[in-house]
Amino acid sequence: MRITETDRRCAARSGAVSPMIGDSLRRGDVESTMGTPTPGIRTSTTATRASTARTAPAARVPSADASEHAGFSFADLVRAYFDCRRTKRNSPSALAFEERLERNLRDLFDELQAGAYRPRRSICFVITRPKPREVWAADFRDRVVHHLLYNHIGARFENAFITDSCACIVGRGTLYAAQRLEAKVRSITQNWRRPAFYLKCDLANFFVSIDKCVLREQLAAKISEPWWMALAETVLMHDPREDFELRGDRALLELVPPHKRLMNQPSHLGLPIGNLSSQFFANADALRMFIKLAR
């Protein structure tokens, strides 16, 4: 499996357990006091692990000096965990994390506060509907961090989005989008009384063509807190191709066009499809506003 060389252009720049856990967990959520080892994630016989010792981009990470300015509590991390597990409760990595929930949350909290957090191995697989796509799924532990980051910075970005941006925004689901579309059509056609034109288009290779260096500057314009910006950069600049596990039929990879595969992009290009962070970062692109104003 070919792994591209690192593009150096982007090289840059235990607290007590919250009572929130006990109030919200079901029986069996909290780790046992028996001290049994954490079972590993069950791996399919078709899974292939791939790793490399290549030098990673030198993205900033939250430092210990900045931890006092982190601005989040253990309760915030627990809230991010519950947000994350809402749709991932039965995934192998979620079950493994939940096996020793309190310890895992405490360790993650300490790592974040100390500036020692690093993303873990990702899972790569291919979906075929609606068309073949290469998906990169972060470890459940990293997904919790994505939700923690989103919960803190999401509102300030979403307030600047145009009203018609709907992807992964709370309160703007399919029904909201359909109602907005109908209102626009009724307006331009004067309630269906005159013809109108519309443009239906798609951005080719959108996720795999995003320049992370440019995106980093766009994030920095709205994230003034050094610790949170460093965490956002850690998530953004992480390259899942450095350490991942390939699951499923390898032959399915051949169905994905080479120019649509993250594996074939230089390290400064592309966001992994499958993570909340990628969808949110993609929404920060100014193209939507440009299209609306340029019409």
Question: Each residue of 104-122: pLDDT tens digit?
Answer: 999 999 999 999 999 999 9
The predicted pLDDT at position 199 comes to: 82
User: Which residues does 261 contact at the CB level (< 8 Å), separation at least 6?
Assistant: 134, 208, 253
Of the two residues 146 and 2, the one the predictor is more confident about is 146
At 284, the pLDDT band (50, 70, 90 cuts) reads confident
Locate the domains of the chain by residue range: 74-155+202-294
Rounded Cα gap, residues 237 and 271, in angstroms: 9
The predicted pLDDT at position 192 comes to: 94
The sign of the dihedral angle between the CA atoms of 89, 92, 94, 100 is: positive
113, 116, 236, 261, 289 from 227: Cα distances, Å: 9, 12, 14, 32, 29
- Mean pLDDT, to the nearest integer, of 52-72? 51
How do residues 226-236 score in pLDDT, each as one tens digit? 999 999 999 99
- Mean pLDDT, to the nearest integer, of 35-51? 44
At 203, the pLDDT band (50, 70, 90 cuts) reads confident
- Mean pLDDT, to the nearest integer, of 33-48? 42
Rounded Cα gap, residues 268 and 270, in angstroms: 7
Task: Please state the pTM of the whole predicted model.
Answer: 0.74
The predicted pLDDT at position 62 comes to: 54
The predicted pLDDT at position 34 comes to: 39
| 50 bridge partner residues | 244
